[in-house]
């Protein structure tokens, strides 16, 4: 009897955990924010707006295709750039900016930020910042919004962070952001699953996380999946009356 009760408790715990992981409810995210403050997971608004963010850009093959899909549906996104991938892909990033999208700091390498020594973390943050600012300064076309002349947003690699990291990012003028809808696109190779999970959890003020590139920065499997996912979700998001904006635009609208 005791074994049965323990088994039932275990099943309830597993079911509860699976539910939280799939639905990523805001009450849970609010609890996380209370425990580990300083990171934005979603915006408090009743307006039908959502932000799409693309991590691990740029990629020479997949990023242009992602931009084509975004242009097709006339929506804007925030691309989190890995600093070491800028060289040789400057034209792609210029195209991101020319089309009204925003870029954010995703450090120099695709690695878990929390595993870095705090001094090394700051070095990586500032090196990536310098790389992106240099690119912006060389960009002579008129940018759509004034706030795009600087880099506003930082997203920790791997999604894990500590208070010291957030303090360092804030010291250098960054707002740290994760998201409220993560369809596990780096773990589950299914555009169908990602699309279903995103649309099921869509709420005003949501921040959606998708990925460009791939596991080894050369392959583009994550980016290819994101292209398919965007083709599915963007028309449905529009049909539901939502508008897709950059993080900075959503921040302005929230005020």
User: Which residues participate in catalysis according to the annotation?
Assistant: 55, 211
- On the question of pLDDT at 203 being above 80, the answer is yes
Q: Which two tokens stand for residue 45?
A: 């608004």
Q: How confident is the model at residue 109 (pLDDT cuts 50, 70, 90)?
A: very high
Q: Is 105 exposed, middle or buried (0-12, 13-18, 19+ CB in 10 A)?
A: buried
With cut-offs at 50, 70 and 90, classify the pLDDT of residue 220. Answer: confident
Query: Is residue 196 packed enough to be buried (19+ CB in 10 Å), middle (13-18) or exposed (0-12)?
Result: middle
What angle in degrees, to the nearest 10, is found between the helix axes of 191-200 and 221-239?
Answer: 40
Domains of the chain, start order: 38-254 (3.20.20.370)
The pLDDT tens digits of the residues spanning 74-97 come to 999 999 999 999 999 999 999 999
Backbone angles phi, psi at 136, to 5 degrees: -65, -40
Residue 101 has pLDDT above 80, yes or no: yes
For the chain, first and last CA: distance in Å? Answer: 56
89 near 140, Cβ under 8 Å?
A: no
């Amino acid at each position: 009897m005791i074994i049965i009760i323990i088994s039932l408790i275990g099943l309830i715990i597993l079911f509860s955990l699976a539910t939280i992981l799939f639905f990523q409810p805001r009450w849970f995210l609010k609890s996380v924010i209370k425990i580990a403050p300083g990171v934005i997971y979603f915006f408090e608004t009743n307006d039908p707006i959502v932000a799409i963010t693309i991590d691990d850009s740029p990629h020479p093959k997949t990023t242009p295709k992602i931009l084509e899909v975004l242009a097709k549906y006339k929506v804007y996104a925030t691309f989190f750039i890995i600093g070491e991938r800028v060289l040789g892909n400057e034209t792609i990033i210029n195209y991101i900016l020319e089309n009204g999208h925003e870029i954010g700091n995703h450090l120099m390498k695709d690695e878990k930020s929390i595993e870095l020594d705090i001094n090394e973390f700051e070095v990586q943050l500032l090196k990536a910042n310098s790389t992106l600012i240099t690119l912006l300064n060389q960009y002579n076309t008129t940018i759509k919004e004034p706030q795009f002349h600087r880099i506003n947003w930082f997203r920790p690699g791997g999604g894990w962070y500590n208070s010291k990291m957030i303090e360092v990012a804030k010291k250098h003028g960054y707002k740290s952001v994760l998201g409220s809808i993560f369809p596990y696109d780096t773990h589950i190779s299914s555009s169908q699953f990602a699309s279903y999970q995103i649309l099921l959890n869509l709420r005003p003020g949501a921040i959606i996380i998708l990925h460009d590139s791939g596991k080894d920065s050369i392959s583009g499997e994550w980016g290819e999946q994101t292209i398919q996912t965007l083709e599915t979700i963007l028309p449905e998001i529009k049909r539901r009356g939502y508008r897709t904006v950059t993080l900075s635009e959503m921040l302005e609208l929230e005020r």
